[in-house]
Structure 1
Amino acid sequence: MKKIKYTIVVLALIITSNSCNTNDLELTNPNELLPETFFKTEAQVQSSVNAAYANLQTFSLYGRLLFYMMDNMSQEAAGNPQEELEKKTYRDFSFDSSNVQILDFYTSCFLGITKANFVIANSEKIYAISDSDLPLVTKNKFIAEARFLRAYYYFLLANRFGGVPVWETLPDGPIGKARGTKEEVYDLIIKDLQFASENLLDKSKEQKGRATKGAALAFLGKAYLYQKKYTEALTAFNKISGYSLESNFYNNFTEENEHGVESLLEVEYDRNLGTGNKWDSPTSGQGLNEATFRGQDYGNLNWFNTYPSNDLLDEYEAGDKRFAGSFYVVGDTYNNGNNTMTVDNFKASGNTRRAAWKKYQNYYKQTDEQQESGINFKIIRWADVLLMKAECENEVGSRATAINYINEVRTRSGLAGVPSTAIKADVFQAIVHERKVELAGEQVRFDDILRWGISDTALKGTNFIKGKSELWPIPDKVYSTNPNIGAQNPGY
């Protein structure tokens, strides 16, 4: 088996069946439904941790909605006429608090948090297992995985909603909490990632698909960077070791090269493990969800709902190898070189597009997405970290070092380096450019735009409203189930 199977069906059923009866979307207590004998063996501990991973695979996160949401808001993706109307609301910022997809995103993240809290809240039981049956380092590792996952789900929530209820343990009743501030959410994220970075295993010692020390340090640095704490971010980034750039950029996006030298964290998909629940498990992580719709939705030979925007395509310099690694154009071969893309392959409802997405598509080895893709999603990779390190060095460290990091990424792309004489403002603009073309369609651009404060230019001509569109609304159903939630986000 090439990957771990995140969805442990029995535990997932226990947790999700309870969530259906809760009076509050942030509240589920799997302890009420689990036998007292749980957390007696390593297998039980591992299964509970695995269940917390499963929500990453859900339809409302990496299974389908997250990439639409983020790529459309960033304007990296333009929509063909057949794109579903609710997906278009992210591109034109017309979503409101009744949006069911935003509710599903919110719910899936909090169910992931609950599953992680189930492990964390039972730490004493885990530590009570004999060290001969479960070594201390493994106990710490499992708890660190749960805390890493809790941090990541809160990271997703904080960036989309601002402050949300902060749960560090399981609830003891049906009363919902008020929203914490975004700063309070980030305080928990930092605390969890610090613990995770000290107790997770190195990538070389861990099973593929699990969180590692490198992933925790990368997200710890990213969390600090998002708060403009550049020194702390750089300290975390500089502790990461054992990673490098793939010699071939495109290797990052194929099934055969998963967990390569550049990968710090991936969302696992494997069609061989089962895909029977791919349509009917938007939030719970229950069942067989081992496929993502990314290939089918974005594929120009399939649904072709979306294509790379002209703004994105125009950003690439002549000779940049990443263009060919990111997009298909007329004349490109596919299906192991046996077929060639024609003009007709880029037509949608009478419109002919300049290019189509290539990242995460299966066309390199077949002629059809078959509605399912088993290619893992890379949540974070080494090129991303290098460019974040460059940003920190440019702010509080060595400009020469910042330029070296940028040029490491550019060299792989076949481009000349940023000159050593570049001033701080020029280095920053180089980072903005590199992140846009290096990480296109990888769900980071919108958050970059917000944290850099460049929405006036990057989102010009859209319906983005400063002071409103940076955040999503708290869903209506949250207000109907949690009277303590507090004020709605501005403008909704």
Structure 2
Amino acid sequence: MKKYKILFLFLTGVFAINSCSTDDLELSDPNQITPETYFANEAQVQAAVNAAYANLQTSSLYGRMMWFINDNMSQEAMEAGGMEPNKAVFLYFTFNSTTNWISEYWDSCYRGINKANFVIGNAPIIDAIPTSKLSNATKLKFYAEARFLRAQYYWLLVNKFGDIPLRNGDFTERGGKPKSPKADVIKLIIEDLEYGSKHLLSKASEKDVGRATKGAAQAFLGKVLLYEKRYGDALTSFNKMSGYDLEPNFLDNFLEETENGIESVWEVQYDLTLGTANKWGGNVQGQGQNHATFRSQDYGCIDWSGSAPSDDLVNSFEPGDKRLNYTCYFAGDTYNNGTSTFDAGNFFVGRGWRKYQNYYKQPNEVQESGINAKVIRYADVLLMMAECENQRPGGSQPTAVALINRVRARAGATTGGLFPLLSTTLTKAQVFEAIVQERKVELAGEQVRFDDLIRWDRAATFLAGTGFQAGKNELFPIPTAEISSNPNVTSADQNPGW
């Protein structure tokens, strides 16, 4: 598949915005850009929307730390010799409110929110652009993209921090905002995704691959509603999706040449041809050329070797489940277009990550990778649909099992085989356990397991002995930097246990 990527660059001066203040939007120098003078045509509005995408690419989010934070806390990963201490703190739950990566995660999300709000909050100015320069339908699409992106950033924040400051695009209130209840944040996320479900395009055109679509909004809305235990509403949203299916080849989801395929619902785009000059200066800003992820080197088994699939994860795969070898490399596996073979000496712990790695086409990983980060793919949706069907009042267990079996069949499951398709006679409790197992192995190393454990109230049991403390580590601490700089957030607002 030929790749097209969105160039997520914009004018630095407009978006030098932090999480605590909107003062940077109050520009008085007549030589500087203001919303009133900037928003004059389609290209300018498009550029502002593009800027809101860019923070997802930063190294404090999907460019690097999203992997370490979630894979380590879920214990899907383990140290492999090269894991630096500032990543290992998430494996052992020894981070605190001054941990740099937590502060930068917070900061990058809020910068993304402020960029989205720059579009949403200036809707009256954009609406005034003549339709000869920007059609009303395109305006609605731009607003929908901005609201979808705002929902993404708030979702990343609310699942890690709980109650957080809420900014909704109203620029009349200056200064830092106090924490809002998690329920209010979820309410805004749902409203934004409902708007996106209505106004986003059904499918991105070839030149717009990578932009938010109606299906992505419907999937994300379903996910949020599932987390809220609104199973029927979630299933309704999932059922509105169309045009998606499973890739026949599981690994096509994680190769650079076949990304954005039929299973892709929402993924963060990377493309080395667009430039990586700002890779070390783009932790939070989302400005400049930063179109690479560092997962290749960090997770590479014969290079930096910072991470490896954990014993628990590897032992979770059933005999005959092909996904074990789709997820991991072992001694004897070939790589580099089949011209090289791994031996035991290539691994610190007897295996390495295969998902998202470039070894399939080259002898070594380099520092940068252009492989996209999958946020939601259709296999995840099918398993969430199965969970909704199983948990909703009057749900059908056979229907839930059929959804799970679609995912298992691709992994090699057959009726009565060593790796079997599930029986349609399973009870509700048995179906739920099957979903827990299936999500663990299907989505291994895809940053969903920890949130699953939290929402299922299983973290304390599964993570016992790792350093996880119930009543504390369900949430990150509010960064000390936020408490120091925001007069409306004090130490009394800190999350429990911190």
Report the TM-score when normalising by structure 1: 0.95
Query: 2: CA distance between counterparts of 1:28 and 1:402?
Result: 51
Query: 1: CA distance between counterparts of 2:175 and 2:367?
Result: 41
Match of 2:360 in 1: 364
Aligned with 1:438 (options 442, 447, 455): 442
Match of 1:72 in 2: 72
Give per-residue Cα distances to partners, 1:156-200, cap 9 Å, x unaligned.
000000011111114346421110011111000000000010000
CA contact (8 A) 1:299 1:356 kept: yes
Match of 1:413 in 2: 411
Query: 2: CA distance between counterparts of 1:325 and 1:26?
Result: 46
- The answer on 1:223 being equivalent to 2:229 is no
The residue correspondences of 1:376-395 to structure 2 (distance < 5 A) are: 376-395=372-391
Match of 2:331 in 1: 330
The Cα of 1:378 is off from its aligned counterpart by 0.8
Q: CA RMSD in A?
A: 1.4
Provide structure 2 residue ranges, at least 5 long, that are not aligned to the other structure: 414-419
Match of 2:417 in 1: none
Counterpart AA for 1:138: T
- The answer on 1:90 being equivalent to 2:90 is yes
Match of 1:25 in 2: 20
Give per-residue Cα distances to partners, 1:468-489, cap 9 Å, x unaligned.
0000000011111112125100
The 1:28–1:73 alpha-carbon spacing in structure 2 relative to 1, beyond 3 Å, is farther
Counterpart AA for 1:489: N
Query: 2: CA distance between counterparts of 1:483 and 1:17?
Result: 20
Aligned with 2:454 (options 438, 450, 454): 450
The Cα of 1:25 is off from its aligned counterpart by 3.2
The Cα of 1:31 is off from its aligned counterpart by 5.5
The Cα of 1:354 is off from its aligned counterpart by 2.6
CA contact (8 A) 1:394 1:402 kept: yes
SS in 1 for 2:61: helix
The Cα of 1:27 is off from its aligned counterpart by 4.1
Counterpart AA for 2:289: L
The 1:204–1:149 alpha-carbon spacing in structure 2 relative to 1, beyond 3 Å, is closer
CA contact (8 A) 1:262 1:381 kept: yes
Match of 1:316 in 2: 317
Match of 1:158 in 2: 158
Match of 1:490 in 2: 496
The Cα of 1:360 is off from its aligned counterpart by 0.5
Match of 2:240 in 1: 239
Query: 2: CA distance between counterparts of 1:298 and 1:217?
Result: 32
Give per-residue Cα distances to partners, 1:351-405, cap 9 Å, x unaligned.
xx13110000000000122111000011100000000000000011221110110
Query: 2: CA distance between counterparts of 1:34 and 1:181?
Result: 35
Match of 1:132 in 2: 132
SS in 1 for 2:267: strand
The 1:300–1:81 alpha-carbon spacing in structure 2 relative to 1, beyond 3 Å, is closer
Match of 1:115 in 2: 115
Give per-residue Cα distances to partners, 1:55-104, cap 9 Å, x unaligned.
00101001111110000000000013431111111111111111111000
CA contact (8 A) 2:17 2:111 kept: no
CA contact (8 A) 2:16 2:24 kept: no
Counterpart AA for 2:346: N
Query: 1: CA distance between counterparts of 2:147 and 2:352?
Result: 38
Between 1:264-273 and 1:452-461, the stretch displaced more is: 452-461
Query: 2: CA distance between counterparts of 1:31 and 1:469?
Result: 38
Give per-residue Cα distances to partners, 1:406-463, cap 9 Å, x unaligned.
0000000001211011000100000000000000000000000000111233212211
Aligned pairs, how many?
481
The residue correspondences of 1:127-276 to structure 2 (distance < 5 A) are: 127-172=127-172, 174-203=174-203, 205=205, 207-276=208-277
Match of 1:350 in 2: none
Provide structure 1 residue ranges, at least 5 long, that are not aligned to the other structure: 348-352
Query: 2: CA distance between counterparts of 1:26 and 1:61?
Result: 21
Query: 1: CA distance between counterparts of 2:281 and 2:243?
Result: 39
CA contact (8 A) 1:55 1:111 kept: yes
Match of 2:371 in 1: 375
Between 1:404-413 and 1:83-92, the stretch displaced more is: 83-92
Query: 1: CA distance between counterparts of 2:39 and 2:147?
Result: 17
Give per-residue Cα distances to partners, 1:189-247, cap 9 Å, x unaligned.
00000001000001254710100000000010101111111111111111111100000
Give per-residue Cα distances to partners, 1:96-117, cap 9 Å, x unaligned.
1111110000000000000000
SS in 2 for 1:471: coil
Match of 2:466 in 1: 462
Match of 2:431 in 1: 427
CA contact (8 A) 1:218 1:385 kept: yes
Match of 2:350 in 1: 354
SS in 2 for 1:59: coil
CA contact (8 A) 1:114 1:170 kept: no
CA contact (8 A) 2:387 2:435 kept: yes
CA contact (8 A) 2:8 2:51 kept: yes
SS in 1 for 2:430: helix
The Cα of 1:319 is off from its aligned counterpart by 1.2
The Cα of 1:135 is off from its aligned counterpart by 2.0
Query: 1: CA distance between counterparts of 2:133 and 2:217?
Result: 26
SS in 2 for 1:203: coil
Give per-residue Cα distances to partners, 1:322-357, cap 9 Å, x unaligned.
11111100000001001000111113xxxxx13110
Counterpart AA for 1:203: K
CA contact (8 A) 1:329 1:354 kept: yes
Query: 1: CA distance between counterparts of 2:464 and 2:481?
Result: 32
Residue identity (%)? 53
Query: 2: CA distance between counterparts of 1:489 and 1:135?
Result: 45
